[in-house]
Structure 1
Amino acid sequence: MARPIVGIIGNQHLINDQYPTHAGGTMNSEAVSEVAGCLPMVIPSDPRLVTVEELLEVCDGFVLTGGRPNVHPEEYGEEWTEAHGQPDRNRDAITLPLVRACVQRGQPFLGICRGFQEVNVAMGGTLYPEIRDLPGRMNHRMPPDGTLEEKFALRHKVSLTEGGVFHRLFGATEVLTNTLHGQGIKTPGTRIVVEGHAPDGTPEAIHVRDAPGFTLSVQWHPEWNAANDPVSRPLFAAFGRAVHAWAENGPKDLRAAS
């Protein structure tokens, strides 16, 4: 029997600063295939090439990946400045309506880093352009030097709401995660429930209130070492169960929310 399809939102990338591609990190595909038990498919996030309606029909679930470009601040009512970094309007045009459609349909998605921020913006929230510039906040950005293992190393704790969805999933009210982001949630969007915070108060784990499907999203990168990490594995496994339930039963099955 064919595995359910998970659309992995790709990012625009230049190979050798010349050749344009739509790329997805290998670790995203590995996590989807090996832990979630689904078929990974990288999506070219460009409205000239795909439509949200097509993606909803072809894919059973979605991973909203991290990415260097940021959500354009016009999407949450602010003007762009250099502090907001390089945007990707093509990706915005796909992911923001895709999130809203998935929430309405109950179709599962997992938001990661930029994807976490996209979920908040799609639901009407706003973002800080640079967390490390705020008083009392730590530097959440990826270390500029070192090996890949050192850049994705676990760096801070995330405190989770007792009795919440993430607490039940991880079996703990405190977990250890990596951190590789510059922006973060300023104002939570409508129906966005923040259930996890870094030690400096930065939101790290969210879901959409009363959504009929799986909407868990995290600010860290659980795709790294997903098969072995005690936090990443249950997250991707739960996402996989939700995708399988959707593939088998479609919008009538609400078990994906559990």
Structure 2
Amino acid sequence: MNRPLIGISTYWEQKASWGVWELPAALLPAGYPLLVQSAGGLAAMLPPDGPERAAATVARLDGLVIAGGPDVDPACYGAEREERTGPPAHRRDAWELALIDAALRSGTPLLGICRGMQLMNVALGGTLVQHLEGHSEKVGAFGTHAVMPVMGTLYASIAPEATTGVPTYHHQAVDRLGRDLVVSAHSDDGTPEAIELPRPAWALGVQWHPEMGDDTRVMEALVRAAS
């Protein structure tokens, strides 16, 4: 069986260092392509491009991952920037919103991870909580907490146990849900931890970072859908 091609959005940094070089770079933590590969897919990096090219890009993919990264610009959901919201990544916001739109229009299986889940919500008209306590242990270090599935959802079919420990690092979260989205997992404080579109769409967002853990089931489910 041919392995499905899974595109993964990337960072775009004006200064990155490796060897003797310090240059602008498209970056992606290795956990993302490694997770795609271990789940049976082929990984392709998708650095920011013109939003008008998103549909043509998605047309060449079997599945799409919107990766984690910086805070979504509050202007994307009609809010004022709060003090603890990070600096904007305008180029990445525009590109990834266009990728999400193209995937939803074409029915291409879509997985949003952390920022990717938040951006899925924004793309469908939702809003975000700009600062949330208790979901990051310390700066630059992933923590772990439990998430609980909502029965009858896609996510619950992937991870049906009552609770699952997941790697987490975020300070923003879904506030008002975007149109047609449903919450499919939550943490013990009620924070939405997974959102999805009802079937027959395959569009799932998870607030945690599966690329930083050993549980490959979410990515395996995407790869199966993309096959």
| Structure 2 stretches lacking a partner, 5+ long | none
Q: Secondary structure at the match of 1:6?
A: strand
**1:4, 1:22 → 2: CA distance?**
23
**In 2, Cα distance between the equivalents of 1:91 and 1:214?**
23
Tell me which amino acid in the other structure corresponds to 2:114.
C
Question: In 1, distance between residues paired with 2:80 and 2:49?
Answer: 23
Q: Take 1:71 and 1:237, find their aligned partners in 2: how far apart are those partners? A: 27
1:107-157 CA-partner distances (Å, limit 9, x unpaired): 11111000010100001100011111xxxxxx2125236xxxxx345x211
Alpha-carbon offset, residue 2 of structure 1: 4.9
The count of aligned residue pairs is 223
1:58 aligns with 2:60: yes
Q: How does 1:1-258 map to 2 (within 5 A)?
A: 2-13=2-13, 14-16=15-17, 18-35=22-39, 37-47=40-50, 51-67=53-69, 69-132=70-133, 139-141=134-136, 143-144=138-139, 151-153=141-143, 155-210=144-199, 212-225=200-213, 229=214, 232-244=215-227
Q: In 2, are the aligned partners of 1:120 and 1:189 still within 8 Å (CA)? A: yes
Sequence identity, in percent? Answer: 35
Query: Deviations 1:199-256 (Å, cap 9, x if unpaired)?
Result: 111110110134x43211100001123xxx3xx3221111111111xxxxxxxxxxxx
- Structure 1 residue ranges without an equivalent (≥5): 133-138, 146-150, 245-258
Per the alignment, in what secondary structure is the counterpart of residue 101 of structure 1?
Answer: helix
Question: What is the one-letter code of the residue matched to 1:143?
Answer: K
Alpha-carbon distance in 2 for matches of 1:71, 1:47:
18
**SS in structure 1 of the partner of residue 99 of structure 2:** helix
1:79 match: secondary structure: coil
Letter in 2 for 1:42: M
Quick check: 1:207–1:217 contact (8 Å CA) kept in 2? yes
Distance 1:191 1:66 in 2: 23
**How much does 1:159 deviate?**
1.5
Aligned residue for 1:90, secondary structure, equals helix
More strand by share: 2
Structure-2 residue corresponding to 1:256: none
Q: Is the 8 A contact 2:64 2:103 kept in 1?
A: no
